[in-house]
Homo-oligomer: A and B are copies of this chain.
């Protein structure tokens, strides 16, 4: 009986994964190659596959088997799988169909409204849609009925096990530390210098060489991957043997290069997840935050590090005929500047952007912030944290797409991932003696192997924080990240 129910559970998961991956290809193709005439048809194809996946996810057959298995003495990995699936299904079954449909209808029109608002540079065009979304997300959070802050049920969708109660003091400590660090940086004589090496156009052909070189050095097997062009870089897995990334060229070569390093970090994680769980939930990452830790460790801790540029700077210098020395280059790659846009932010400002959104989301959920006031709230909070005020809505409250999708609770994962990244990096440096020397020779293979062994291979057998605890001896901790930043930028800005 248990065996039969377990078979049903595995069959349903496999079908969901197969549909999900076919759908991922529909989306990938849409971003990368689809002619514009295909949009309408593609939407129908994708919606239909989503529906088939949803039918399976919400099937009574699956739920009945899971309920039986919950009562039986399942052990080991099967138990983790059953618990996880059962928890997820219980969550989604708490939300009435009418609410799901309402949210889906609302976000369908909120996307175009957000784009229109951006075009007009006017938040008020988007506000009514956001109001509806927030109202519905509040309802959703109430139905979920998580302990503690209303936000917890939403946050759990992206960062399983994390709560506002745990996260808030961490973010407060982080915010304080970052603002203090920024104060020191901005006092430095080295601050605010114009870019001399990076502030010009680099040709795409030269950039291409480095993009293709770095992913292979990082350990991406190009027989199981590929790089294509898209407006926004992203990573998709179609199977453990087919994980692809996308990229875009800009004048600034660091955009293509470091966003590729970032995506390749995601891709290595996806490629190294346990093959035997390819078609079940244990073969996925346990949280968005942990996924982000992989991309951000490669992008920031490694990719903006001294050792990394010891290897790459001479090659960049030669390829692009640069005049300038290593110190200048390293400083420019890590130059700190006050900007309005999260995704263009340097390492020091980045988490402040995230904390701003976290605070706003909490306020929207508990009613202390009103949607109609959001432009002003955003701008004054921004001024308070960054010392500058957005000049318009596109560089302010309208900059991110997430809310228009109905994603509330996603933003914190960026900062969680960033902190985890530093914790893992710190631990790796302790364990892998001489790793900087290897990186300095362009040999990154031990980094990849270490991450695979410590993080990737577990899939979602443990929660994100449990994995970090197993590796580093403690869960999420802002101190390590702050220390890393203080050391690095103290050296660059001489304080």
Contacts and interface: CB of A to CB of B under 8 A. Distances in A.
A270 to B, nearest CB: 12
A36 B44 CA distance: 29
Q: Which of A19, A33, A36, A38 has the most CB of B within 10 A?
A: A38
B41 A19 contact: no
A222 B36 CA distance: 9
B35 A48 contact: no
A297 to B, nearest CB: 24
Contacts of A226: 33, 35
Contacts of A241: 35-41
Nearest to A15: B48
Contacts of A48: 15, 18-19, 22
Contacts of A22: 22-23, 26, 45, 48-49
Q: How many copies does the complex hold?
A: 2
Interface string A40-55: 1110110011001000
Q: How extensive is the interface on chain A, given as a class?
A: 35 or more
A39 B241 CA distance: 8
Interface string A241-270: 110100000000000000000000000000
A21 interface: yes
A34 interface: yes
A222 B34 CA distance: 11
A29 B30 CA distance: 12
B278 A35 contact: no
Contacts of A97: none
Contacts of A44: 18
10 contacts: A18-B44, A22-B23, A22-B26, A22-B45, A25-B25, A37-B224, A37-B239, A37-B240, A38-B224, A40-B239
Interface of A: 15, 18-19, 21-23, 25-26, 29, 33-42, 44-45, 48-49, 52, 221-226, 228, 238-242, 244, 278
